[in-house]
Amino acid sequence: MEFVQPIRSVEKLEHMKAVLRSWFLMVMGINVGLRISDLLALRVRDVQNRSHIVCREKKTGKKKRFPINAELREIINEYIKGKRDDEPLFRSRKTGSNIDRVQAYRILNRAAAEVGLAEIGTHTLRKTFGYHFYKRYKDVALLQQIFNHSAPSITMRYIGINQDIIDQAISEFHL
């Protein structure tokens, strides 16, 4: 298993959205920070006329309640127009059921290659959410709680902040 990185550059994020066939997958992933398994399990009814996404995390079994902000609400409303409430939010064109994590990986990696990004995987969406959340609010304790991590150090390593610090320190170090 390869180690994946968050998308740190806002310009690269915008470029990914522009070239991504399933742009809504990326928009949801980077705005709600759910694991890909929980994101892909969502149905239209889980987001339609709701103020929060409520689900039980597959990995932990814990109940997760995540607010839908006004900007995301508008995007969701536009995306689900004409869809049935029992329809998967991320529907496979071939099967009609939810896309799986392998298909999500392929979708993200095709777009990443086109944009010139490496070390991209299904966790990239969640890590990107965490990275930008931390950069904006500098609240690792809150992010740790959002991610259900057991320690702040795990959260910092997960979102790539530790790597940023190491990279900067070593690039500026010389004897």
Over residues 39-68, the pLDDT tens digits come to 999 999 999 999 999 999 999 999 999 999
* Domain ranges within the chain, ordered by starting residue: 10-172
CA distance 107 to 103: 6
* pLDDT, tens digit (0-9, with 9 covering 90-100), for 81-131: 999 999 999 999 889 999 999 999 999 999 999 999 999 999 999 999 999
pLDDT on residue 112: 95
How many H helices and E strands in the chain?
9, 2
43: its two tokens:
């149905």
- Mean pLDDT for the chain overall: 94
Average pLDDT over residues 64-82: 96
| Fold adopted by 10-172 | hpI Integrase; Chain A (1.10.443)
Q: Which residues are catalytic?
A: 35, 59, 123, 126, 149, 158
2 pLDDT above the threshold of 70:
no
Is residue 68 within 8 A of residue 79, CB to CB? The reply is no
129: its two tokens:
């959410």
pLDDT on residue 3: 84
